[in-house]
Structure 1
Amino acid sequence: MRILLIEDDELIARQLVPKLTYQNYTIEVATDGQTGLEQAESLPYDLILLDVMLPKLDGISICRRLRSQGIKTPILLLTAQDNSTNKVMGLDAGADDYLTKPFDWQELLARIRALLRRGDTDLTPILQWGDLALDPSTCEVTYQQRLISVTPKEYGLLELFLRNKHRVFSRSVILDRLWSFEEFPEESTVTAHIKGLRRKLKKAGLPDDPIETVYGIGYRLKSPEPKHQKNQKAIPAKVEQQAIEATTAVWQRVKNKLDSRVAAIARATDAILNDNLEDELRQQAITAAHKLAGSLGMFDVDEGSRLAKEIQQILQCDRPLNRQQKQRLPKLLRAIQQELAKATQKKVPDFLTVDERPLLIIVEPNKIIGEQFLRETKNWEMRCEVIHDSTVVREWISRQRPEVVLLDLVGEAIATKELTLLGELSACTPPVPVIVFGAKDNLRERVKISSLGGRGFLPQTMTPEQVLTVVTEILERVRRTETKILAVDDDPLILKALHHILEPWGMEVFTLTDPLEFWSTLKTVMPDLLILDLEMPHLSGLELCRVVRNDRRWADLPILFLTVHQDAATMQQIFAAGADDYATKPIVIPELLARIHNRLERSQLLRTKTETDILTGVTNRYQFVQELTKLLQLAKRCSQTLCFALLDVDHLQQINDRYGHAVGDRVLSHLGKLLQKNFSSEDLVARWSGAKFAVAMYGVSSDEGKSRLLKLLDTLQQKPLSLNKKGSLTVSFRAGVVQYPQNGDRPQQLYRVAKGLLVKVKKNGDRIIVAQE
């Protein structure tokens, strides 16, 4: 959470910043009203702590200005004036809460938590789960339009889950979110309230419990059954029979693998009872038991997983087996065979039957055009769903996340609901790429779509085949920016499960079953994170981990182990080899995701320090050139254009001489922040050197690039930089704009041409000049 503190009293700021930082908030400080207003207008914050009495511009005026611009960031006023008149003025100006100085630290924290909860609003006014609805404006809960009476805490619980549909909340986090600082309930209180809420929902007629217990972690909202299933047409008998046959075939293949592993254990058991067990057969049985322990849990055969672990422990015993162990093995074998016999094709997890081809959703009101796209996609390696009503897209995506959305805009102007939908899809985590298919093809519309996160604009004159060619290019670009995971495990079922679990979270998963091919695969994939099985044939995960840690290039690569063992000795071995973390088998999905995200965040933090220009917050030149080289290679493969712009801040040397280098640094930082805000995450932005910045825009012409830069100049004109008592300063720049492939096909060539244009633009007195072909 990012908080802006606007406070001119340095003593108070020095006290608040470390305390709030310790609470995991990101704090930015402005020491006068004008600077604070500029930061609040140009950057997104989750909360503003605002002093009332400020130099240059008072806090109440800042409130009015922000609210008049439609900025709804929660504002907490801080002041030493404890009278009702000031409170009324502040609240009427748009503040959300008011706290007088000196204030109690715990009270301030409680108010901050309350405002942050209040600010976490959903885009849809009424929150729904199937026919269950919660209306925040009236604080009412209904099922099939019948009112349900709930307590305030039950209401808060339901609202928390409905607003955070995919998040798991622990009981301690729920206490922090829903109970005030003055209350000190036990975690069992949460369990009691959830139990009461479930009972009321069931009594109201809900056929399914909307709250799912994630054992050992907490609670989350279940995915509802799609509404349209109740009214959908009966499935033809032939189609239904084909589906049953396909599912049965999948289960049979899986069951054959599981049976072969049990058979290996049975052969070893017979040999042990006959006192003729060879080392090779013993090792095969240990491997089979290890794989069963990891994979049976994914088929809800938890008892079978436990039995396999016990068998593995007995077979791994260093000393000859005693009489009790020999008698125990056949009993364990029979028990695991019985558990496997109970499993049917109904136990097959989704990841074994899911279609792994990329999903394209086409929002197309015209049914004839929709049918044309459906026919054409049969010739491409992708799935396609056509939706004729844009209002149901959100419901679709909540059930199944697409790789790309093609949005057809009918008419001469883009409607507000389409713009809203485009913004929502781009704001998803990870973002859903959206390609706009429109009738009105002009520069203004293209700029508007790009600013909302659109990945491309296609005129409606293009054929379905041409459109799908562009869709394929977009998919390749998206995969280039995805987090890459390399998973090494000799059990293909585990690897398939990792594909299913991680790819919806924007991770591209590469898998390897043979550890002997590890090093060549590592160099080819160049992953962001490595997942290793502990026990594998030929080379163990521990050995692979040590090899990685001993190579300078990969020494910082995050490594996570998957293992069925949780004893202290195994954990010590894992961490001694250089691992960062581990997760248990059978895989617990929320736990695995939490551990992977934690490792990636820490790795990203370290990488950011080496790849980012500290002053401006944008990429440094070295990293920019590397990324630009990759982008040029992609543009060549996909026959796409690329726009490169070199920007030079006006009069930076004179600013340093007149106002000092601290002001010059603020100028560069100000421009860096606006560049990041005005260009999408797919564009490359860097500080090249001194007063120069560089921007690269894939799939954009030089004319489009010039238009974006002119828009940025307008923004700079409207938002001058406050210099405290020295007035304000309007930041501006000049730019040379070039295009691949017309002006070069390597970063150095594009830079030289753009640099030459900068010399020309300064002589002519222009702002931006575009290279001719």
Structure 2
Amino acid sequence: MINDELKVLVVEDSPVVLKVLNHLLSQNPKFVPVLCACYEEAKAKIENASMTFFAAIVDLHLPDAENGEIVDLVLSHQIPCVVLTGNFDDYQRLNLLNKGVLDYITKDSRYSFNHVIKVIDRLRKNQDVKVLVAEDSSTSRLFIKILLEQYRFKVVEAEDGREALAKLEEDHSIRMLITDYNMPHINGYDLVRMLRHNTRFQDLVIIGLSSEGDSSLSAKFIKAGANDFLKKPFYHEEFNCRVVHNLESQEMLETIRELANIDSLTRLKNRRYLFDDGEKMFRKAMPNASFAMLDLDHFKKVNDTYGHVVGDALLQAIGQEVLAHFPNLLACRFGGEEFCVAADESVESLMPKLEAFMDSIRVKEFTEAKIHVTFSIGVCGGEFSSLDDAIRIADDNLYRAKRLGRDRIVTD
């Protein structure tokens, strides 16, 4: 689990650069910048027992430590370190990266500062990313593990393809597989093919490795379904770039997919998600399933009286109420001012939650206009053959609730 606040040590003698980094870090609510202008000030902060640093951004040349001593100090306390310097020196860059510095960035443009923040934020995200390393060589496996842990990834190890497959089957939280080609029992290529034939692993990021000289092996791996391929031996800077690039590409795809299933106004799941993934959940829960349609009473009057901006603000607030009252159920915006709850539980279990929702809504004021609202709810909890059938029955009961005077729950 990621901490609520992460202290980032910034050691920089330029007041302008210090101000820029402080501003950029402060834009992310997860980070708390701790600013130092010299080596001694940074040393005092680091040795303060009450302070634990998530990462450090340091300048190499400080007034009281001109030869990069700050890097050794930070690394000696196991604090991940990013070097931000005004001078590019390739020999120095390689030396620092070999010491364990995360990145070596020159202050040559605004992009440089944004890149520093991106590295630190990626480090934060990596804490929740589990990577499986399948490699029969213990030396190689340890080397890869050290590289990954340096960037805060959680690492799981497997000695061969068979063990890797077993660990992937038992641990659904593994998001990336790094696999060698030449392994006993199941080689890396066959492992990739087996995984890609299983839809459960369609989002697993896979990077293949091999020290063999066959130039067609990379194409073979990628055609089998791997996201990328690296030839051993590789330099650790390239390794990290490939890992991060492939992970971010997959995260972007997941974000796009998620956006397709989320209602942009209320942030609830949308109607499309209900009829795709919700259908599977509902079918699995039958016959111990129930369904409710929730309609905001007199919503047209709100738009006519206060305008659509206030109407949208009301729907946003109601969306949060729906989410809060049905956290473990599938709550969706069905359309307009209509919401729904698909429950993998009986109607007897759902009804008290709906009543608590109604009681809570009645006593609240919403938006700056202090609007009071009520709901009409139709529930399906009897016999039905599908999600479509349950929606039809709940909808009929909803209209009965409207005809009976609104602000009530009607069930069959």
Between the aligned partners of 2:139 and 2:350, the Cα distance in structure 1 is 53
Match in the other structure for 1:195 = 76
Give the Å deviation of 1:495: 8.2
Between the aligned partners of 2:78 and 2:272, the Cα distance in structure 1 is 56
2:173 maps to 1:527:
no
| Residues 1:618 and 1:544: Cα distance change in structure 2 (over 3 Å) | farther
Give the letter aligned to residue 697 of structure 1: A
Give the Å deviation of 1:542: 2.8
Between the aligned partners of 1:752 and 1:197, the Cα distance in structure 2 is 60
2:40 maps to 1:155:
no
Give the letter aligned to residue 690 of structure 1: G
Match in the other structure for 2:338 = 692
Between the aligned partners of 1:707 and 1:668, the Cα distance in structure 2 is 23
Match in the other structure for 1:618 = 268
Between the aligned partners of 1:494 and 1:760, the Cα distance in structure 2 is 64
Give the Å deviation of 1:675: 2.3
Between the aligned partners of 1:300 and 1:737, the Cα distance in structure 2 is 57
| Residues 1:709 and 1:301: Cα distance change in structure 2 (over 3 Å) | closer
1:749 partner SS: helix
Between the aligned partners of 2:336 and 2:25, the Cα distance in structure 1 is 43
| Residues 1:655 and 1:534: Cα distance change in structure 2 (over 3 Å) | same
Match in the other structure for 1:645 = 292
Give the Å deviation of 1:685: 2.1
| Residues 1:618 and 1:515: Cα distance change in structure 2 (over 3 Å) | closer
Give the Å deviation of 1:485: 6.5
Match in the other structure for 1:709 = 354
Contact 2:290 2:347 in 1 (8 A): yes
| Residues 1:610 and 1:494: Cα distance change in structure 2 (over 3 Å) | farther
Between the aligned partners of 2:396 and 2:164, the Cα distance in structure 1 is 52
1:563 pairs with 230, 234, 237, which one?
A: 230
Between the aligned partners of 2:264 and 2:289, the Cα distance in structure 1 is 27
Give matches, 1:320-331, under 5 Å: none
Contact 2:26 2:32 in 1 (8 A): no
Give the Å deviation of 1:613: 1.6
Give the Å deviation of 1:110: 8.4
Give matches, 1:131-280, under 5 Å: 151-155=44-48, 159-160=51-52, 169-172=54-57, 188-193=69-74, 195=76, 215-217=100-102
Higher gyration radius (CA): 1
2:307 pairs with 660, 665, 670, which one?
A: 660
Contact 1:534 1:542 in 2 (8 A): no
Give the letter aligned to residue 755 of structure 1: D
Between the aligned partners of 1:495 and 1:154, the Cα distance in structure 2 is 49
Match in the other structure for 2:379 = 737
Contact 1:703 1:770 in 2 (8 A): no
Give the Å deviation of 1:648: 0.8
2:324 partner SS: helix
| Residues 1:153 and 1:517: Cα distance change in structure 2 (over 3 Å) | closer
1:686 partner SS: strand
Contact 2:297 2:407 in 1 (8 A): no
| Residues 1:544 and 1:196: Cα distance change in structure 2 (over 3 Å) | closer
Contact 1:734 1:758 in 2 (8 A): yes
Give the Å deviation of 1:750: 0.9
Give the Å deviation of 1:195: 3.1
2:227 partner SS: strand
Deviation sequence 1:206-258 (CA, Å, 0-9, x none): xxxxxxx99453999xxxxxxxxxxxxxxxxxxxxxxxxxxxxxxxxxxxxxx
Give the letter aligned to residue 317 of structure 2: H
Per the normalisation by structure 2, the TM-score is 0.59
| Residues 1:728 and 1:565: Cα distance change in structure 2 (over 3 Å) | same
Give the Å deviation of 1:107: 10
1:619 partner SS: coil
Contact 1:483 1:528 in 2 (8 A): no
Contact 2:283 2:387 in 1 (8 A): no
Give the letter aligned to residue 653 of structure 1: K
How many aligned positions are there?
319
Between the aligned partners of 1:715 and 1:643, the Cα distance in structure 2 is 21
Contact 1:643 1:702 in 2 (8 A): yes
Match in the other structure for 2:367 = 722
Contact 2:293 2:377 in 1 (8 A): yes
| Residues 1:732 and 1:188: Cα distance change in structure 2 (over 3 Å) | farther
Match in the other structure for 2:40 = none
Match in the other structure for 1:28 = none
Give the Å deviation of 1:635: 2.3
Between the aligned partners of 1:108 and 1:487, the Cα distance in structure 2 is 36
Give the Å deviation of 1:756: 0.8
1:722 partner SS: coil
Match in the other structure for 1:605 = 255
Between the aligned partners of 2:99 and 2:341, the Cα distance in structure 1 is 45
Deviation sequence 1:115-155 (CA, Å, 0-9, x none): 86579xxxxxxxxxxxxxxxxxxxxxxxxxxxxxx943322
Contact 1:618 1:672 in 2 (8 A): yes
Q: Which structure 1 segments of 5+ residues have no match? A: 1-45, 48-104, 120-149, 162-168, 177-182, 199-212, 221-290, 303-348, 359-381, 383-402, 404-478, 497-510, 549-558, 569-581
Between the aligned partners of 1:615 and 1:184, the Cα distance in structure 2 is 53
Between the aligned partners of 2:319 and 2:401, the Cα distance in structure 1 is 22
Give the Å deviation of 1:621: 0.7
Give the letter aligned to residue 411 of structure 2: A
Give matches, 1:10-49, under 5 Å: none
Contact 1:743 1:753 in 2 (8 A): no
Between the aligned partners of 1:356 and 1:678, the Cα distance in structure 2 is 39
1:728 partner SS: coil
Give the letter aligned to residue 689 of structure 1: G
Between the aligned partners of 1:642 and 1:621, the Cα distance in structure 2 is 18
Contact 1:720 1:729 in 2 (8 A): yes
Give the letter aligned to residue 160 of structure 1: T
Per the normalisation by structure 1, the TM-score is 0.34
Between the aligned partners of 2:234 and 2:179, the Cα distance in structure 1 is 22
Contact 1:621 1:687 in 2 (8 A): yes
1:513 partner SS: helix
Deviation sequence 1:365-417 (CA, Å, 0-9, x none): xxxxxxxxxxxxxxxxx9xxxxxxxxxxxxxxxxxxxx8xxxxxxxxxxxxxx
Percent pairwise identity: 19
| Residues 1:612 and 1:171: Cα distance change in structure 2 (over 3 Å) | same
Give the letter aligned to residue 628 of structure 1: G
| Residues 1:494 and 1:708: Cα distance change in structure 2 (over 3 Å) | farther
- Higher RCO (C-alpha under 8 Å, 6+ residues apart): 2
1:707 partner SS: helix
Deviation sequence 1:650-677 (CA, Å, 0-9, x none): 1111222222222222222221222233
Between the aligned partners of 2:222 and 2:354, the Cα distance in structure 1 is 47
Between the aligned partners of 2:21 and 2:142, the Cα distance in structure 1 is 47
Match in the other structure for 2:388 = 748
Give the Å deviation of 1:768: 4.4
1:721 partner SS: coil
Give the Å deviation of 1:193: 4.6
CA RMSD of aligned residues (A): 5.2
Deviation sequence 1:427-479 (CA, Å, 0-9, x none): xxxxxxxxxxxxxxxxxxxxxxxxxxxxxxxxxxxxxxxxxxxxxxxxxxxx6
Q: By percentage of residues, which structure has more helix?
A: 1
